[in-house]
Structure 1
Amino acid sequence: MEEYEELYRDQVSIINIPVDVPVRDLEAVLNKQLSGILYEDNNLRDGDKMMVRAVKQDDILLGLDSQAITYRIPLDLWIKYDLGISTVEANGQISLDFKTGFGVNTDWSIFTTTTLEGHQWQQKPRVKMGFVDLPVGFIADIVLRNSTRQISKAIDDLVREQFDLRKTVEEAWREMFQPALVSEEYNTWLTVNPQYIGMSPVSTERGRIATTIYVEGKPSVKIGERPDPKYIQPLPPLRISPVEAEDFTLHINAEISYDEAERLAKTQLVGETFSYGRRSVTIQDLEFFGKGSNIVVNTTLSGTYNGSIYLVGRPVFNPKKNTIDIEDLEYTLDTKNYLFRSAGWLMKSTIKNKIAENLNFLLDYNMKDMQAQFQEQLQDYELATGVVLNGNLEALDLRNAYLTVDGMVVDLALTGNVNVRVKGLNK
């Protein structure tokens, strides 16, 4: 009879994912996007008596200042000024100093505020016609008032466009609910099952904008058919809190379904013939199920004996080998009593030992290969466009084993570290 004990429980795991954005990458994008004419006024009759064209003169250089990005934008100016009786043209050079403060809203969207911190003339525009000087102060006010508003908006729009944090996080959040095939050989599927996601305060140091995203989840691994994705919960509001460490320990419930166990065992055992004297039997089929904390193997035989025999054993964790062993695999009492009366010779054959060997092989799946598969998944894994995850898996250990209605659940513990780099930014 099948029966199961609810002995295992999910454990919440926390994955810490450091994220950094090199300022030089942001600088390259800013220079690419902000090029050529940054401000232009072609109307001589709009009240200021001037036409102005401001062209970026050289590369923008970025710096970091607390929770802000600082930069200087050098501009070449062309000016046409209406003197009343005639117009004059002049050229000049000015550098504008900006600061962009930034933060993250509770809906994971980035907000920025760009302000003009100051300006410096490299070459003042000056034209003399008799005793008339070009009014440099007036020109500076017009250029600053108009170009600053236009350039600041362009910078804020650019940062929000390049750093669509909500889109990136939401894409990664939804992906964590989808089973990912991490081992074709063992037909192994990993689902992170996130429960919450947050981040640490943003820091700006050593030429990088850095934070750590942390995910609280209940990861699971299933060996067998691809599991159905769980209900995708909406992206939770942002919670900002400090992160103490950058490594992780994942507690994963790895499920080996009875169907998969049977499939693998059958490839080794079905068709095997066992002889004792002139008597012999051939294994025709295998079925696994649980009884309390034990696993039952229903073996269908044909030959001198036609029918089923039942063996029962206890799955235990072997810390020395990092494996699951089936201890004390024996015929059930009913099977033993029946064979004593009608087929005692079968108990003297090697069939029980052969089944035990293959059950150990089945449950002792190659941990080194599985660790290599996980490690491969942690190399240059693109979470979203331009957002790449890399990591190192230091250990993968078995902690315990339980039986459920669907199969055997193994408590796996993975330790290691990961980091995310935003490279190339959005195109």
Structure 2
Amino acid sequence: MKNLVWLLAVVLTACSSVKKIESLKPEPDDAAPLIYDTEPSFLNMPVEISIQDIENQINKTLNGVIYEDKDITDDDIKLTVWKQAPIQLRSEGGKMKVILPLKAKIFYRYGTSKLGIDLYDTREFDLNGVVSLLSEVNLLNWKLQTKTRISDLDWKESPSMTIGSKVVSITYLVDPAIKYFKGKIEKNIDDAIKKTVDFKPQVLDALAKMSEPSLASETYQSWVRFTPIEVYATDATIGKSTLVMDMGVKCKIETLVGAKPKSLFNRDAVVLKAVKSVPHAVNAKVIAVSTYADAEAIITKNFAGQEFASGSRKVKVEQVKLWHKSGKIVVALTLSGSLNGDIYLSGFPAYNAQTKEIYFDNLDYVLDTKSTLIKAANWLASGTILKKMQQACRYSIAPNLEEGKKQLQRYTSNYSVMPGVFVNGTMNDVVFDKIQVNNKAILAFLEVSGKVTVKVDGFK
């Protein structure tokens, strides 16, 4: 009788108590740093610079005396040449035409020297004229390089003087002297352009500013980080009113979740490479990085308020944990209700392009979990409940993608990266490429295409 009472008590206790399940936990892979493969993006940035801006800068640089010959004894001429009025730049036949108004003060010596006695007289003249030069343009070591040659010299007046019984044109005497200052003027023009149009500081300053990680979504704490690797540039060409040069940036673009990441920009490591052509379309490969902690928080919210039932037996998911195991993601669900304890699912991370969600393909109970459930809670092992759970084991990266796209669009809507430099363009929809996983995060690789132009307006 005593044994019967004891047995009945055990049965009643067992019937009234909640079952506790203990499955063998699949241990995560060994810890390692967050390292992932990245494919570089390529941003095309055709740069336009107003010829008027270059003209303004040359006029600031080139002033005053541009040639001086103080020795009158070698050729009987001493002269000083000044820039008389602002230099003008024009486009002509694919070259840059330089119009240089100048004035010259000329001392002409005539006479002879006999028996050691100088019998010379010197006359002083002022001439006004315009020198026309043509410049071939190319880019070398970040700087605009020109090869300038004088094409024409037009004196506005042609004074003359009487020597003995002859009337001598002063321009006739001066023009041969051009060979002495011709090269000097050409060099001064080239040096002024080289000094004025040095792209390196402007380009690197712009890239440094663009490389500062930018908050894409405050809600999801996602950041866009742009890291340039190389810069490509074609030779500059002269348009009707602009100097045009195709530039391209090889870079890495990431979308990171969590605290603000550090900028990886290293201005000393950026290399400028000369190329014959640059594709006009932008091809940006964006990496959306979701740490397991962030994904866990989102999926745990998905399970909030849900019950998974079979008859009178019900369970709730209280907490979700994720980790990487042999190329798969383990989803640990902490249950309460008719069954307490942790169960483990595993599957391959995948991307749904329609819903823009990360989900887990072929999600199933881990082998030991399934065996345990069949023995202790066969109702929970059924495929119906597993499918319902699978629906909640997903999280959307649409807000991150949309915010990331908006952020990129902000960079392409007359965005001023620095005074006088404006970026414009268009961005197409984000296209999924692939997913990678490691022991710290799920990485979605995406592609964004479009067009970008950079205009320099008011070159500093």
Secondary structure at the residue paired with 1:416?
Answer: strand
Residue 269 of structure 2: which of 210, 234, 249 is its match? 234
Contact 1:179/1:226 (8 A) holds in 2:
no
Report the CA distance shift for 1:314/1:287 in structure 2 as closer, same or farther (over 3 A).
same
Q: Which residue of 2 aligns with 1:74?
A: 101
Structure 1 residues 264-291: Cα deviation after superposition (integer angstroms, max 9, x where no partner)? 445x3698686987987672x4321123
Q: Are residues 1:417 and 2:451 paired?
A: yes
Q: Which residue of 2 aligns with 1:184?
A: 217
Pairwise CA distance, 1:405? 1.9
Residue 422 of structure 2: which of 373, 388, 394 is its match? 388
Pairwise CA distance, 1:339? 5.3
Residue 245 of structure 2: which of 189, 211, 216 is its match? 211
Q: Which residue of 2 aligns with 1:360?
A: 394
Residue 25 of structure 1: which of 34, 44, 53 is its match? 53
Q: Are residues 1:102 and 2:142 paired?
A: no
Residue 82 of structure 2: which of 39, 50, 54 is its match? 54
Contact 2:230/2:272 (8 A) holds in 1:
no
Residue 379 of structure 1: which of 413, 421, 429 is its match? 413
Contact 1:20/1:209 (8 A) holds in 2:
yes
Q: Which residue of 2 aligns with 1:323?
A: 357
Q: Which residue of 1 aligns with 2:13?
A: none
Report the CA distance shift for 1:334/1:123 in structure 2 as closer, same or farther (over 3 A).
same
Find the aligned partners of 1:114 and 1:161 in 2 and give their Cα distance: 15
Aligned pair count reads 414
Q: Which residue of 1 aligns with 2:6?
A: none
Pairwise CA distance, 1:72? 1.7
Report the CA distance shift for 1:192/1:400 in structure 2 as closer, same or farther (over 3 A).
same
Contact 1:261/1:362 (8 A) holds in 2:
no
Secondary structure at the residue paired with 2:394?
Answer: helix
Pairwise CA distance, 1:396? 1.0
Find the aligned partners of 1:73 and 1:211 in 2 and give their Cα distance: 25
Q: Which residue of 2 aligns with 1:135?
A: 170
Question: One-letter code of the match for 2:131?
Answer: L
Pairwise CA distance, 1:171? 5.2
Find the aligned partners of 1:357 and 1:262 in 2 and give their Cα distance: 15
Contact 1:258/1:406 (8 A) holds in 2:
yes
Q: Which residue of 2 aligns with 1:310?
A: 344
Pairwise CA distance, 1:361? 3.6
Question: One-letter code of the match for 1:422?
Answer: V
Find the aligned partners of 2:44 and 2:67 in 1 and give their Cα distance: 47
Rg comparison, structure with higher value: 2
Contact 1:316/1:324 (8 A) holds in 2:
yes
Pairwise CA distance, 1:29? 2.9
Pairwise CA distance, 1:81? 6.0
Question: One-letter code of the match for 1:310?
Answer: Y
Residue 14 of structure 1: which of 38, 42, 50 is its match? 42
Question: One-letter code of the match for 1:73?
Answer: L
Q: Are residues 1:221 and 2:255 paired?
A: yes
Report the CA distance shift for 1:249/1:282 in structure 2 as closer, same or farther (over 3 A).
closer
Q: Which residue of 1 aligns with 2:180?
A: 145
Find the aligned partners of 1:58 and 1:110 in 2 and give their Cα distance: 21
Find the aligned partners of 1:59 and 1:211 in 2 and give their Cα distance: 23
Q: What TM-score comes out, normalization by structure 1 length? A: 0.76
Find the aligned partners of 1:366 and 1:228 in 2 and give their Cα distance: 19
Q: What TM-score comes out, normalization by structure 2 length? A: 0.71
Report the CA distance shift for 1:260/1:290 in structure 2 as closer, same or farther (over 3 A).
same
Question: One-letter code of the match for 1:29?
Answer: Q
Pairwise CA distance, 1:96? 0.6
Report the CA distance shift for 1:174/1:367 in structure 2 as closer, same or farther (over 3 A).
closer
Secondary structure at the residue paired with 1:288?
Answer: strand
Contact 1:173/1:235 (8 A) holds in 2:
no
Pairwise CA distance, 1:34? 3.9
Pairwise CA distance, 1:191? 4.3
Find the aligned partners of 2:252 and 2:86 in 1 and give their Cα distance: 51
Contact 2:81/2:102 (8 A) holds in 1:
no
Contact 2:148/2:186 (8 A) holds in 1:
yes
Find the aligned partners of 1:411 and 1:33 in 2 and give their Cα distance: 49
Q: Which residue of 1 aligns with 2:232?
A: 198
Report the CA distance shift for 1:56/1:259 in structure 2 as closer, same or farther (over 3 A).
farther
Structure 1 gap ranges (5+): none
Question: One-letter code of the match for 2:82?
Answer: A
Secondary structure at the residue paired with 1:211?
Answer: strand
Report the CA distance shift for 1:32/1:125 in structure 2 as closer, same or farther (over 3 A).
farther
Pairwise CA distance, 1:18? 1.7
Find the aligned partners of 2:77 and 2:173 in 1 and give their Cα distance: 11
Report the CA distance shift for 1:64/1:292 in structure 2 as closer, same or farther (over 3 A).
farther
Residue 322 of structure 2: which of 272, 288, 300 is its match? 288
Find the aligned partners of 1:207 and 1:335 in 2 and give their Cα distance: 73
Secondary structure at the residue paired with 2:275?
Answer: coil
Find the aligned partners of 1:369 and 1:339 in 2 and give their Cα distance: 42
Question: One-letter code of the match for 1:180?
Answer: P
Report the CA distance shift for 1:205/1:15 in structure 2 as closer, same or farther (over 3 A).
same
Deviates more, 1:301-310 or 1:160-169: 301-310
Find the aligned partners of 1:57 and 1:183 in 2 and give their Cα distance: 51
Structure 1 residues 34-62: Cα deviation after superposition (integer angstroms, max 9, x where no partner)? 45x34475969787565646342355242
